[in-house]
């Protein structure tokens, strides 16, 4: 069963326009036709072509930004996978975790004090540079296999430094 298109409302709207167009002189008909084409092409440009060109112009920048995000995500996934494999391959003893934690803490150049109680290690910071803290966190995560559980830090602006406490925990301190 074929559908039929009801063109009656459109025909009622177009009929007066066709009658008016027919009454125009040939020169005026050409001018109206030309104006209609110009308006139609302008609408086509504004609605279809210009947005597509804008998307094409932005594509390289978006592609580069997404490539950078993808690279970062792949790097984080590889790090997570290596840590997972490291933990599965050989569990770290409590002594090994404490040794790695103390070795990493010596790199904070006297701006931090470490205390271990049970299955948690607390690091107290006093004006520790941000780069040193970031490097320490990375070393502790990889070598001692510990992660921050709690953090109460405040940041000084001149010079940029962190003060406060970090509480760490993980399988290495649980007494394996």
List, for residues 4-37, the tens digit of each pLDDT value.
666 678 788 888 888 898 999 999 999 999 999 9
**Structure tokens belonging to residue 115:** 């205390």
DSSP-derived 3-state class of residue 106: helix
Spatial neighbors of 143 by CB under 8 A, at least 6 apart, are 100, 103, 104
Give the model confidence (pLDDT) of 2-12 as tens digits.
566 666 787 88
pLDDT > 70: what percent of the chain?
93
In the predicted model, what is the mean pLDDT of residues 118-122?
A: 91
Closest CA to 134 of 106, 162, 92: 162
pTM: 0.54
Average pLDDT, the chain: 88
Does 92 score more than 90 pLDDT?
A: no
Spatial neighbors of 97 by CB under 8 A, at least 6 apart, are 144, 145, 146, 170, 172, 173
């Amino acid at each position: 069963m074929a559908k039929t298109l009801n063109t009656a409302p459109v025909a009622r709207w177009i009929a007066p326009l066709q009658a008016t167009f027919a009454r125009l002189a040939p020169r005026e008909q050409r001018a109206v036709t030309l104006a209609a084409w110009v308006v139609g092409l302008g609408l086509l440009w504004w609605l279809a072509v210009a947005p597509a060109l804008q998307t094409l112009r932005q594509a390289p920048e978006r592609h580069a930004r997404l490539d950078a995000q993808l690279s970062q995500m792949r790097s984080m996934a590889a790090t997570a996978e290596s840590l997972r494999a490291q933990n599965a391959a050989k569990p770290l003893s409590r002594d090994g975790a404490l040794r790695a934690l103390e070795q990493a803490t010596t790199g904070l150049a006297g701006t931090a004090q470490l205390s271990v109680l049970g299955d948690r290690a607390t690091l107290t910071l006093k004006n520790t540079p941000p780069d040193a803290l970031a490097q320490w966190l990375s070393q502790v995560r990889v070598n001692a296999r510990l992660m921050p559980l709690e953090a109460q830090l405040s940041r000084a602006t001149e010079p940029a430094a962190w003060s406060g406490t970090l509480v760490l925990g993980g399988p290495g301190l649980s007494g394996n």
